[in-house]
Structure 1
Amino acid sequence: GPIYIGEACEIRVGSFIEGPAYIGPGTIVHPSSIVSGSNIGPACRIGGEVESTVIHGYVDKRHAGFLGHAYVGEWVELGALFTNSDRSMHGSVRVTARGVGIDTGLTEFGGIIADYAKASAGSLLYAGRRIGVASQVYGAVWEDVPSFVLYAKNYGLPASEIEVDEVLRAARRTAALREVEFTPADEQLLRRVFELTREERGALEPRREPFRLD
């Protein structure tokens, strides 16, 4: 299929791109990467294998690991060896929306990772699962993670709420590193999403001590 590579992109040594594929302007595809059937937004950092996935702008997935049949929002950071499953052992992949299980009818669906979400090195995302806006996940993720949640159940830790001011500080730092303005509208949007998703988090409260994996 056709391949479009935008202005100021870098496709580094040993990488393979199979169309149809769109690589947005300013994106860097790191050495020995594989990109197939995917739409990658502007100013991303791409590594490992990306298959049949939509990735919006300013996503950092520069290391080895598989990302397939997924939908990824803006400003997402995926650590080294982050990998998602895109298949169910029981036929089509099921998802959950507002507490209701839905059969997608798809044999391959890797899930959804919302804007500003972060996944630690070595994280695993089960097929059809969702990571909410600005959430941070560590280890295996076998259930949907609400927005603004720190999730490390794989390490025996309870989920907790991430305060919106903490998210805003991190977003400003990341934008500055990319020489992008973090606008008042960006702040207002995140604060609004925090309020709109409060019900998802239920009774979760912010951690009162520093987060550590001992």
Structure 2
Amino acid sequence: MGGLSAARSSNRSGFLNPLTTQIESHDWQVELYDRVRHVGGILHNLATDMWTYISMGYFAQIPVDSATGSSTMPHKVNPIRFENAEANLEISGGLFSTIAQTLVTSRLQRDLTDSTTQRNIGVAFGHSLLALDNLERGLGEILLAEDVLRVDLDANWEVLAEAIQTVVRAEIVAGRSRITIPIPCLQALTPATYTGLAPDLVSEL
């Protein structure tokens, strides 16, 4: 097993693979394509979430000069960057999945199916790059709609349930079985000001 691992490691670095069959092992490629597909899935989630946030009004899109947002409603700005990213990531993920599945199989290490399959590697990476370009441009063409978020938060005070539960648990652990509501440390909180440990966690990571 040590020799096989060393062979795969050397192959990734561009050196001779001393342990192989009649065709070159594609294990390192499969690992790479699976990782790219995995990252693509995460970015696909970002693209669909941003599309949803824009439709909910949480983000406003910055109009681009001379660009028509919609064929039927020229005044409308469609989230086309995120739609393009979503589609390209789906195509890229599908291709990488097919390529990876094909490259780990071979009939007695003699067939040349891998040769035909590998001609599509550039296509798969191309769609990934298109998606990245659209995501980067899309994220640069939006503004946070703070007024919309404030209204939404002010209508959902259940956001503070976490804060209340945390303080109540602390009171119980401290041996104070009688808890009075309102608790002083909670009185100044609002849905818009409560962020819990999020700032500290982001700073730490």
Which TM bucket (shorter chain)? under 0.3
TM-score, normalising length: structure 2: 0.17
Question: Which structure's relative contact order is higher, taking Cα pairs within 8 Å and 6+ residues apart?
Answer: 2
TM-score, normalising length: structure 1: 0.16
Higher gyration radius (CA): 2
Larger helix proportion of the pair: 2
Larger strand proportion of the pair: 1
